[in-house]
Protein backbone atom coordinates (compact mmCIF):
# COMPACT_ATOMS: atom_id res chain seq x y z
CA UNK A 1 0.00 0.00 0.00
CA UNK A 2 1.20 3.53 -0.77
CA UNK A 3 2.04 5.88 2.08
CA UNK A 4 0.03 8.92 3.10
CA UNK A 5 0.71 12.09 1.09
CA UNK A 6 1.58 14.17 4.15
CA UNK A 7 4.39 15.29 6.43
CA UNK A 8 3.01 16.06 9.89
CA UNK A 9 4.18 17.12 13.36
CA UNK A 10 3.49 16.44 17.03
CA UNK A 11 1.97 18.70 19.64
CA UNK A 12 4.49 17.95 22.37
CA UNK A 13 7.64 16.12 23.38
CA UNK A 14 6.15 12.61 23.14
CA UNK A 15 3.23 11.30 21.13
CA UNK A 16 -0.16 11.02 22.76
CA UNK A 17 -2.17 7.84 22.38
CA UNK A 18 -4.50 9.64 19.96
CA UNK A 19 -1.57 10.85 17.85
CA UNK A 20 -0.07 7.35 17.70
CA UNK A 21 -3.35 5.85 16.55
CA UNK A 22 -3.91 8.61 14.00
CA UNK A 23 -0.42 8.32 12.49
CA UNK A 24 -0.76 4.54 12.33
CA UNK A 25 -3.99 4.94 10.37
CA UNK A 26 -2.94 7.63 7.87
CA UNK A 27 0.71 6.54 7.45
CA UNK A 28 2.30 9.94 6.66
CA UNK A 29 5.41 9.88 4.49
CA UNK A 30 7.33 11.54 7.31
CA UNK A 31 7.36 14.02 10.17
CA UNK A 32 8.80 17.43 11.05
CA UNK A 33 10.08 18.74 14.38
CA UNK A 34 9.80 22.18 15.99
CA UNK A 35 11.35 23.83 19.03
CA UNK A 36 8.41 22.81 21.23
CA UNK A 37 9.28 19.15 20.52
CA UNK A 38 12.91 19.46 21.60
CA UNK A 39 14.11 19.36 25.21
CA UNK A 40 16.90 16.82 25.78
CA UNK A 41 18.82 14.41 23.51
CA UNK A 42 17.18 11.36 25.08
CA UNK A 43 13.72 12.89 24.78
CA UNK A 44 14.26 13.80 21.09
CA UNK A 45 15.47 10.31 20.27
CA UNK A 46 12.46 8.85 22.10
CA UNK A 47 10.07 11.08 20.14
CA UNK A 48 11.70 10.02 16.87
CA UNK A 49 11.24 6.41 17.96
CA UNK A 50 7.57 7.19 18.71
CA UNK A 51 7.05 8.47 15.16
CA UNK A 52 8.65 5.43 13.57
CA UNK A 53 6.89 2.96 15.82
CA UNK A 54 3.54 4.62 15.06
CA UNK A 55 3.91 4.03 11.31
CA UNK A 56 5.87 0.78 11.60
CA UNK A 57 8.77 1.82 9.36
CA UNK A 58 11.94 3.88 9.25
CA UNK A 59 10.22 7.02 7.99
CA UNK A 60 12.15 10.27 7.43
CA UNK A 61 12.05 12.90 10.16
CA UNK A 62 12.96 16.41 9.07
CA UNK A 63 13.62 19.77 10.72
CA UNK A 64 14.51 23.37 9.84
CA UNK A 65 18.16 23.60 10.88
CA UNK A 66 19.56 26.16 8.46
CA UNK A 67 21.58 27.94 11.14
CA UNK A 68 21.21 31.58 12.04
CA UNK A 69 17.67 32.75 12.69
CA UNK A 70 16.11 29.53 11.42
CA UNK A 71 17.38 26.69 13.57
CA UNK A 72 15.15 24.66 15.85
CA UNK A 73 18.04 23.09 17.75
CA UNK A 74 20.17 25.49 19.78
CA UNK A 75 22.72 25.14 22.59
CA UNK A 76 23.09 22.91 24.49
CA UNK A 77 21.44 20.60 21.95
CA UNK A 78 23.43 21.87 18.96
CA UNK A 79 25.90 24.52 17.87
CA UNK A 80 24.61 28.06 17.38
CA UNK A 81 25.50 28.98 13.81
CA UNK A 82 25.94 32.27 12.00
CA UNK A 83 23.28 33.17 9.42
CA UNK A 84 24.04 31.35 6.15
CA UNK A 85 24.73 34.54 4.15
CA UNK A 86 27.10 35.83 6.84
CA UNK A 87 28.83 32.45 6.92
CA UNK A 88 29.30 32.34 3.15
CA UNK A 89 30.50 35.94 2.90
CA UNK A 90 33.02 35.59 5.73
CA UNK A 91 34.47 32.43 4.16
CA UNK A 92 35.10 34.27 0.87
CA UNK A 93 36.85 32.06 -1.68
CA UNK A 94 36.58 29.13 0.70
CA UNK A 95 32.80 29.43 0.95
CA UNK A 96 31.95 26.13 -0.76
CA UNK A 97 34.23 24.13 1.53
CA UNK A 98 33.08 26.10 4.57
CA UNK A 99 29.42 25.47 3.76
CA UNK A 100 30.13 21.78 3.21
CA UNK A 101 31.81 21.50 6.61
CA UNK A 102 29.08 23.51 8.34
CA UNK A 103 26.32 21.24 7.11
CA UNK A 104 28.37 18.08 7.54
CA UNK A 105 28.61 19.02 11.22
CA UNK A 106 24.89 19.87 11.32
CA UNK A 107 24.11 16.48 9.77
CA UNK A 108 26.22 14.81 12.47
CA UNK A 109 24.23 16.64 15.16
CA UNK A 110 20.93 15.64 13.59
CA UNK A 111 21.72 11.96 13.09
CA UNK A 112 22.84 11.72 16.70
CA UNK A 113 19.31 12.70 17.71
CA UNK A 114 17.48 10.37 15.33
CA UNK A 115 16.74 13.07 12.72
CA UNK A 116 17.59 12.12 9.13
CA UNK A 117 16.40 15.03 6.98
CA UNK A 118 16.88 18.80 6.97
CA UNK A 119 15.05 21.55 5.09
CA UNK A 120 18.17 22.85 3.34
CA UNK A 121 19.80 23.87 1.04
CA UNK A 122 17.84 27.06 0.49
CA UNK A 123 18.92 28.22 -2.98
CA UNK A 124 16.68 31.25 -3.37
CA UNK A 125 18.77 34.00 -4.98
CA UNK A 126 19.07 37.14 -2.84
CA UNK A 127 17.90 40.34 -4.51
CA UNK A 128 18.02 43.97 -3.34
CA UNK A 129 14.29 43.74 -2.68
CA UNK A 130 14.32 40.34 -0.90
CA UNK A 131 12.24 40.52 2.27
CA UNK A 132 14.28 40.50 5.47
CA UNK A 133 12.70 37.23 6.62
CA UNK A 134 14.58 35.51 3.80
CA UNK A 135 17.59 37.60 2.84
CA UNK A 136 20.26 36.48 5.31
CA UNK A 137 19.12 32.89 4.90
CA UNK A 138 20.28 33.03 1.26
CA UNK A 139 23.74 31.99 0.06
CA UNK A 140 24.40 34.83 -2.36
CA UNK A 141 23.07 37.13 -5.05
CA UNK A 142 24.13 35.39 -8.26
CA UNK A 143 22.74 32.03 -9.34
CA UNK A 144 26.11 30.41 -10.06
CA UNK A 145 27.41 31.05 -6.54
CA UNK A 146 24.12 30.01 -4.99
CA UNK A 147 24.11 26.74 -6.97
CA UNK A 148 27.73 25.99 -6.05
CA UNK A 149 27.11 26.56 -2.36
CA UNK A 150 23.79 24.72 -2.52
CA UNK A 151 25.56 21.69 -3.94
CA UNK A 152 28.12 21.82 -1.12
CA UNK A 153 25.32 22.05 1.47
CA UNK A 154 23.47 19.11 -0.07
CA UNK A 155 26.60 16.97 -0.18
CA UNK A 156 27.39 17.76 3.45
CA UNK A 157 23.97 16.43 4.38
CA UNK A 158 24.17 13.34 2.21
CA UNK A 159 27.64 12.42 3.49
CA UNK A 160 26.22 12.73 7.00
CA UNK A 161 23.30 10.40 6.32
CA UNK A 162 20.73 13.21 6.19
CA UNK A 163 18.33 13.83 3.30
CA UNK A 164 18.47 17.45 2.06
CA UNK A 165 15.29 19.28 1.06
CA UNK A 166 16.04 21.97 -1.55
CA UNK A 167 13.83 25.03 -1.17
CA UNK A 168 11.86 27.09 -2.12
CA UNK A 169 11.37 25.73 -5.60
CA UNK A 170 11.17 27.36 -8.17
CA UNK A 171 12.56 30.45 -6.37
CA UNK A 172 11.50 32.79 -3.57
CA UNK A 173 14.24 35.43 -3.74
CA UNK A 174 12.18 38.21 -5.37
CA UNK A 175 9.49 38.09 -2.69
CA UNK A 176 9.02 41.41 -0.93
CA UNK A 177 6.52 39.98 1.58
CA UNK A 178 6.86 37.28 4.23
CA UNK A 179 4.81 34.32 2.99
CA UNK A 180 4.14 33.26 6.57
CA UNK A 181 1.75 36.22 6.70
CA UNK A 182 1.08 37.47 3.12
CA UNK A 183 1.05 36.21 -0.46
CA UNK A 184 4.01 37.66 -2.41
CA UNK A 185 3.64 38.53 -6.09
CA UNK A 186 6.60 38.52 -8.47
CA UNK A 187 6.23 40.62 -11.63
CA UNK A 188 9.31 39.58 -13.67
CA UNK A 189 8.92 37.91 -17.03
CA UNK A 190 9.84 34.28 -17.63
CA UNK A 191 13.23 35.00 -19.21
CA UNK A 192 14.53 36.85 -16.13
CA UNK A 193 13.14 34.21 -13.81
CA UNK A 194 14.60 31.38 -15.86
CA UNK A 195 18.06 32.97 -16.02
CA UNK A 196 18.24 33.82 -12.32
CA UNK A 197 15.63 32.47 -9.92
CA UNK A 198 15.11 29.06 -11.50
CA UNK A 199 18.76 28.44 -12.40
CA UNK A 200 20.07 27.07 -9.06
CA UNK A 201 17.15 24.65 -8.86
CA UNK A 202 17.95 23.43 -12.36
CA UNK A 203 21.55 22.80 -11.26
CA UNK A 204 20.31 20.85 -8.24
CA UNK A 205 17.47 19.03 -9.96
CA UNK A 206 18.92 15.64 -9.01
CA UNK A 207 18.32 16.11 -5.27
CA UNK A 208 15.84 13.73 -3.64
CA UNK A 209 13.43 16.23 -2.06
CA UNK A 210 12.20 19.73 -2.80
CA UNK A 211 9.88 22.22 -1.08
CA UNK A 212 7.59 24.60 -2.98
CA UNK A 213 7.34 28.38 -2.78
CA UNK A 214 4.10 30.06 -1.70
CA UNK A 215 4.13 32.98 -4.13
CA UNK A 216 2.58 34.08 -7.42
CA UNK A 217 4.59 34.59 -10.61
CA UNK A 218 2.34 37.09 -12.33
CA UNK A 219 3.73 36.46 -15.83
CA UNK A 220 3.13 32.72 -15.56
CA UNK A 221 0.04 31.95 -13.48
CA UNK A 222 -2.21 33.90 -11.09
CA UNK A 223 -2.34 30.89 -8.75
CA UNK A 224 0.28 30.45 -5.98
CA UNK A 225 3.01 28.09 -7.18
CA UNK A 226 2.22 25.42 -4.56
CA UNK A 227 -1.34 25.16 -5.90
CA UNK A 228 -0.60 25.69 -9.61
CA UNK A 229 -0.51 22.79 -12.10
CA UNK A 230 1.31 25.16 -14.49
CA UNK A 231 4.08 25.86 -11.99
CA UNK A 232 4.49 22.23 -10.91
CA UNK A 233 4.72 21.30 -14.59
CA UNK A 234 7.43 23.97 -14.99
CA UNK A 235 9.31 22.51 -12.02
CA UNK A 236 9.13 19.04 -13.53
CA UNK A 237 9.68 19.78 -17.22
CA UNK A 238 11.70 23.00 -17.49
CA UNK A 239 13.68 22.86 -14.25
CA UNK A 240 13.87 19.09 -14.57
CA UNK A 241 13.30 18.29 -10.91
CA UNK A 242 12.08 14.71 -10.50
CA UNK A 243 12.50 14.36 -6.75
CA UNK A 244 9.67 14.26 -4.24
CA UNK A 245 7.91 17.64 -4.10
CA UNK A 246 6.55 18.65 -0.71
CA UNK A 247 4.58 21.81 -0.16
CA UNK A 248 5.79 24.51 2.15
CA UNK A 249 3.59 24.56 5.25
CA UNK A 250 0.04 24.49 3.91
CA UNK A 251 -1.18 26.53 6.90
CA UNK A 252 0.91 29.62 6.10
CA UNK A 253 -1.09 32.80 5.60
CA UNK A 254 0.11 33.21 2.01
CA UNK A 255 -2.57 30.67 1.12
CA UNK A 256 -6.25 31.32 1.81
CA UNK A 257 -8.95 28.74 2.22
CA UNK A 258 -9.80 25.68 4.27
CA UNK A 259 -6.87 23.37 5.02
CA UNK A 260 -8.57 20.41 3.41
CA UNK A 261 -9.32 22.33 0.23
CA UNK A 262 -5.75 23.65 0.02
CA UNK A 263 -4.33 20.18 0.60
CA UNK A 264 -6.47 18.66 -2.13
CA UNK A 265 -5.59 21.48 -4.51
CA UNK A 266 -1.84 21.03 -3.89
CA UNK A 267 -2.04 17.31 -4.62
CA UNK A 268 -4.14 17.90 -7.73
CA UNK A 269 -1.59 20.49 -8.91
CA UNK A 270 1.11 17.82 -8.82
CA UNK A 271 2.73 18.10 -5.39
CA UNK A 272 3.58 14.69 -3.97
CA UNK A 273 3.06 15.40 -0.27
CA UNK A 274 1.49 18.14 1.84
CA UNK A 275 3.46 19.60 4.74
CA UNK A 276 1.25 20.74 7.62
CA UNK A 277 2.69 22.35 10.75
CA UNK A 278 1.59 23.76 14.09
CA UNK A 279 -2.02 22.70 13.99
CA UNK A 280 -4.45 20.84 16.20
CA UNK A 281 -5.08 17.14 15.86
CA UNK A 282 -8.38 17.91 14.14
CA UNK A 283 -6.54 20.08 11.60
CA UNK A 284 -4.00 17.35 10.96
CA UNK A 285 -6.83 14.90 10.40
CA UNK A 286 -8.44 17.31 7.92
CA UNK A 287 -5.20 17.63 5.95
CA UNK A 288 -4.47 13.91 5.95
CA UNK A 289 -7.97 12.98 4.81
CA UNK A 290 -7.84 15.52 1.98
CA UNK A 291 -4.33 14.61 0.82
CA UNK A 292 -5.04 10.87 0.88
CA UNK A 293 -2.43 8.36 -0.20
CA UNK A 294 0.39 9.05 -2.62
CA UNK A 295 -0.29 8.11 -6.21
CA UNK A 296 2.08 5.60 -7.80
CA UNK A 297 4.36 8.24 -9.33
CA UNK A 298 4.68 10.02 -5.98
CA UNK A 299 5.32 6.73 -4.21
CA UNK A 300 8.11 5.93 -6.66
CA UNK A 301 9.73 9.30 -5.95
CA UNK A 302 9.32 8.68 -2.22
CA UNK A 303 11.03 5.31 -2.58
CA UNK A 304 13.93 6.93 -4.47
CA UNK A 305 14.27 9.59 -1.79
CA UNK A 306 14.46 7.00 0.96
CA UNK A 307 17.02 5.04 -1.08
CA UNK A 308 19.24 8.16 -1.14
CA UNK A 309 19.50 8.04 2.67
CA UNK A 310 22.64 6.21 3.69
CA UNK A 311 24.79 5.58 6.72
CA UNK A 312 27.01 8.55 7.60
CA UNK A 313 30.57 8.54 6.34
CA UNK A 314 33.24 8.71 9.08
CA UNK A 315 33.87 12.24 10.39
CA UNK A 316 36.71 13.61 12.50
CA UNK A 317 34.80 16.29 14.42
CA UNK A 318 37.84 18.11 15.77
CA UNK A 319 39.53 18.22 12.38
CA UNK A 320 36.34 19.45 10.66
CA UNK A 321 35.86 22.21 13.23
CA UNK A 322 39.50 23.26 13.00
CA UNK A 323 39.38 23.43 9.20
CA UNK A 324 36.13 25.38 9.27
CA UNK A 325 37.49 27.82 11.84
CA UNK A 326 40.60 28.40 9.73
CA UNK A 327 38.51 29.10 6.63
CA UNK A 328 36.51 31.70 8.54
CA UNK A 329 39.19 33.23 10.78
CA UNK A 330 37.45 31.76 13.81
CA UNK A 331 34.10 33.49 13.13
CA UNK A 332 31.95 30.38 12.84
CA UNK A 333 29.40 30.43 15.65
CA UNK A 334 27.16 32.83 17.50
CA UNK A 335 27.67 33.07 21.27
CA UNK A 336 24.97 31.53 23.40
Per-residue pLDDT of 130-144, as tens digits, reads 889 889 999 999 999
Statement: residue 205 has pLDDT above 90: yes
> What is this structure's pTM?
0.96
Residue 330 pLDDT grade (very low, low, confident, very high; cuts 50, 70, 90) = confident
Q: How does strand 274-275 pair with strand 65-67?
A: unpaired
- In order of their start, the domains of the chain are 4-12+31-312 (3.20.20.300)
49 has pLDDT over 80: yes
Rounded mean pLDDT of 305-327? 97
48 Cβ contact list (under 8 Å, min separation 6)? 61, 113, 114, 115
Chain segment 290-307, per-residue pLDDT in tens? 999 999 999 999 999 999
Distance of CA 135 to the CA centre of its chain: 16
Report the pLDDT value the prediction gives residue 178, as an integer from 0 to 100: 83
* CA dist list (Å): 34 to 11, 61, 191: 9, 11, 38
Per residue in 306-315, is it b (16+ CB within 10 Å) or e — as a string?
beeeeebeee
Give pLDDT, residue 335: 60
pLDDT tens digit sequence for 105-135: 999 999 999 999 999 999 999 999 988 988 9
What pLDDT score was predicted for residue 334? Answer: 84
Tell me the Cα Rg of the chain: 19
Of the listed ranges 20-34, 55-69, 172-186, 249-263, the least confidently predicted one is 172-186
Active site residues: 180, 248
Average pLDDT over residues 148-165: 98
The residues that bridge with 7 in the sheet, in sequence order, are 30, 275
Amino acid sequence: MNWGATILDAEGQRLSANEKAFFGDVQPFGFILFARNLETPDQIRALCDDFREAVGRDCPITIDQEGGRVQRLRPPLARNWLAPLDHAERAGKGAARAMYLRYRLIAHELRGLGIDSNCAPMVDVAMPETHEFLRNRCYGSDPETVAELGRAVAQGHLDGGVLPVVKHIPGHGRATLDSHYDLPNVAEEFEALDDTDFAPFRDLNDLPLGMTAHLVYDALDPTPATLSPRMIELIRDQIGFDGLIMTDDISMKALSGALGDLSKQAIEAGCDVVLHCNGTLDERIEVAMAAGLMNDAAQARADRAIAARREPAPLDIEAAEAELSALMDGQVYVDG
